[in-house]
């Protein structure tokens, strides 16, 4: 909704599970005031869409099939209360920064009043774009085993006439503010346009963890995910996809690899 020159409002609702167990509760996801302060500077205030994985989500391009890694594994929230800015340094360079509530759009600010913040840099040249970013969450306790959490990300996206490729590497230091509890993950994906609205796509994710004692402290939530399938653009705003997802749980180095679980999915996306 346009309010005036250079000002507009965006409102988005989401449906999901609440703390009482309902799977169909409506949440106010985005209610932001956006100001185009100049040709180079854009500012947003309120309940805003975060910058944490927008780049990767756009590069992957198939959120209706499976979310990007950070989103799916809840390393950050796609929306939160706060403020963000983006500034175009040149045609090739864009910087962004944000200060957030830190609780996501389904929660309220915790009593300690700590915030979450981050910044990123995007370099674009012809068909290739690269993003480097850092997200920080302060600690709420000053105990010896507590420290600020940081997520460092490097991601790239390549788009040719019929081929698109993308990838990201994420490393989370002091996970949940516990010292030396590190999580890392990489995700690669690609799509090949076959013509007539049909494309083949694939994706591979792998995650791992390590603490100061070289233990895989988060092994129950780690593993390898493979997705491959075919997608058809039926008409404007409507896509359908048949795809197979294969997931294999992580195991200790001394233990035999687990068996992969394979599942066939049929996904439909419609936008209006």
CATH second-level architecture of 36-270? Beta Barrel (2.40)
Residue among 185, 168, 170, 160 at smallest CA distance from 55: 168
161 has pLDDT over 80? yes
The pair of three-digit structure tokens given for residue 63, joined into one six-digit string:
């959120």
Q: Are 89 and 109 spatial neighbours (Cβ–Cβ below 8 Å)?
A: no
| Average predicted confidence (pLDDT) for the chain | 91
The pair of three-digit structure tokens given for residue 56, joined into one six-digit string:
């990767």
SS3 78: coil
Q: How many CB atoms lie within 10 A of CB 17?
A: 12
141 has pLDDT over 90? no
- Please state the pTM of the whole predicted model: 0.89
Average pLDDT for 75-100: 95
The ranges assigned to domains in the chain are 36-270
Residue 160: pLDDT band with limits 50, 70, 90: very high
20 has pLDDT over 90? no
Kindly tell me the sign of the dihedral angle through the C-alpha atoms of 234, 237, 240, 243.
Answer: positive
Average pLDDT for 195-210: 97
Average pLDDT for 165-194: 97
Please give the share of the chain, as a percent, with pLDDT higher than 90. 75
Q: Are 169 and 147 spatial neighbours (Cβ–Cβ below 8 Å)?
A: no
- If phi > 0 it is left, if psi is from -120 to 50 it is alpha, else beta; for residue 220 that is alpha
19 has pLDDT over 90? no
């Amino acid at each position: 909704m346009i309010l005036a020159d250079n000002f507009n409002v965006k409102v988005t609702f989401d449906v999901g599970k609440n703390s009482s167990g309902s799977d169909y509760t409506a949440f106010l996801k985005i209610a932001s005031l956006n100001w185009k302060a100049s040709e180079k500077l854009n500012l947003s205030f309120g309940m805003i869409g975060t910058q944490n994985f927008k780049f990767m989500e756009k590069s992957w391009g198939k959120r209706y099939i499976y979310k990007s890694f950070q989103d799916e594994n809840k390393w950050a929230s796609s929306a939160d209360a706060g403020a963000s800015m983006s500034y175009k340094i040149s045609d090739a360079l864009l910087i962004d920064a944000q200060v957030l509530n830190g609780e996501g759009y389904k929660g309220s600010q915790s009593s300690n009043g700590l915030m979450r913040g981050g910044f990123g840099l995007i370099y674009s040249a012809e068909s290739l774009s690269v993003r480097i970013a850092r997200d920080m969450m302060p600690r709420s306790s000053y105990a010896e085993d507590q420290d600020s959490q940081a997520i460092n990300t490097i991601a790239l996206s390549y788009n040719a006439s019929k081929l698109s490729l993308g990838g990201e590497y994420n490393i989370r230091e002091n996970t949940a503010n516990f010292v030396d509890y590190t999580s890392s993950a990489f995700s690669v994906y690609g799509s090949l346009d076959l013509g007539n609205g049909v494309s083949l796509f694939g994706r591979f994710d792998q995650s791992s963890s390590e603490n100061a004692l070289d233990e895989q402290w988060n092994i129950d939530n780690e593993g390898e995910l493979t997705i491959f399938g075919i997608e058809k653009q039926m008409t404007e705003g409507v896509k359908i996809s048949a795809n197979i997802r294969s997931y294999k749980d992580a195991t200790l180095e001394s233990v035999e690899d687990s068996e992969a679980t394979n599942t066939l999915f049929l996904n439909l996306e419609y936008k209006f």
